[in-house]
Structure 1
Amino acid sequence: MSALVCVARIGAAHGVRGAVKLWTFTEDPFAIRRYGPLLSKDGKRQFEVASAREAKDHLVATFKGVTTRDEAERLNGIELYVPREKLPATDEGEYYYTDLIGLAAVTTDGEPLGRVVAIQNFGAGDIIEIAPPKGPTLLLPFSNAVVPEVNIAGGRVVIALPQEIEGEDEGEVPPPGRPGLVRKAHGSRDP
């Protein structure tokens, strides 16, 4: 089975007939209905969307076989996945997070930095997390300036390490997720 990509997360029960709040991570929230059965992270459970309607900042959805509030409450917090090959192709300069995880990270001079272990987004933009062989992980903006090259086929990303971050004392490491450090310049996205 190919890599699984998280496309939604089930929230609290909604009403008494088995509906749930559903947060989708897809460009089109209703795309989750086109992917076929959705899987739990371990791939052992399948969920099929029976109905979905738009709410304020999420969908209200029902799943086949879930008809009571108690059943819906037991689903709260489950992340829903689809196999990577079911997702649409990306445009140039766009990447699914799962495609980047595990790539080697090298400097612009070709020196190894480590491996990409995660792509984070705390609201200010995407952050690439790189685990070096020793020491703490690096959290860097996933921008064209810092990540000038992504070569998925070649298994690597090139990192232009920032020399100085404005407003920081020399040698001081900025806190992760600090607004203003990250901008979404690559157009990366989850499905």
Structure 2
Amino acid sequence: MSALVCVARIGAAHGVRGAVKLWTFTEDPFAIKRYGPLLSKDGKRQFEVAQAREAKDHLVATFKGVTTRDEAERLNGIELYVAREKLPATDEDEYYHTDLIGLAAVTTDGEPLGRVLAIHNFGAGDIIEIAPPKGASLLLPFSNAVVPEVDVAGGRVVVALPQEIAGDEAEER
């Protein structure tokens, strides 16, 4: 099986008939219904969306086989995944986070920096986390200015280190 991609997270129960709040991480929130059964992170549990409707900043959804509030409450916090190949193809300059994890990170001069460990978003934009061979991870803005080149097929990202970081490295040498 290919890599799993997180497409949603189940929130609190909604009402008394087994509905839950559902936060989706897809461009079209209702796309999760088209992916077929959604999997828990460990792949041991499957969830099939029976119904979904839009709410303020999330969906209110029901899953097949979940009919009571108690059952819905036990699902709170579960992240839902699909196999990478079920997702639509990306446009140029678009990437799924899972496609970037593990890529080599090099400077604009070709010097190795480490490997892409994760892509985070704490609310102010995407952050790329790079694990160097030794020392603490680098957390950098995942922008065209800082990451001017992403070559998934070539297995690398090119990073233009901000002056503050590049200057720090020069002082350490």
Q: What TM-score comes out, normalization by structure 1 length? A: 0.85
Bigger relative CO (Cα 8 Å, ≥ 6 apart) = 1
In 2, Cα distance between the equivalents of 1:144 and 1:91?
Answer: 16
* CA distance in structure 1 between the aligned counterparts of 2:170 and 2:127, rounded to whole angstroms: 20
- Over the residues paired in the alignment, what is the CA RMSD in angstroms? 4.7
State the Cα distance separating 1:123 from its structure 2 match. 1.1
CA distance 1:99–1:44, change in 2 (3 Å)? same
- Structure 1 runs of 4+ with >6 Å offset: 169-172
Displacement of 1:104 in angstroms is 0.5
Residue 119 of structure 1: aligned partner = 119
**1:142-183 superposed Cα distances (whole Å, 9 cap, x missing partner):** 11111111110111001111113899x9999xxxxxxxxxxx
Higher-helix-fraction structure: 2
For residues 112-134 of structure 1, the C-alpha deviation after alignment (integer angstroms, 9 at most, x for no partner) is 10000000111111110000011
1:53 and 1:158 mapped to 2: Cα distance?
41
Distance 1:170 1:89, change over 3 A: closer
Find the aligned partners of 2:33 and 2:57 in 1 and give their Cα distance.
Answer: 18
Deviation of 1:141 (Å) = 0.8
CA shift at 1:88, angstroms?
0.6
**Structure 2 SS opposite 1:164:** helix
- Give the number of aligned pairs: 173
Separation (CA, whole Å) in 1 of partners of 2:49 and 2:2: 22
Distance 1:53 1:47 in 2: 17
Distance 1:42 1:7 in 2: 14
Corresponding position of 2:137: 137
Matches within 5 A, 1:40-51: 40-51=40-51
Unmatched segments (≥5 aa) in structure 1: 173-189
1: CA distance, partners of 2:90 / 2:100 = 13
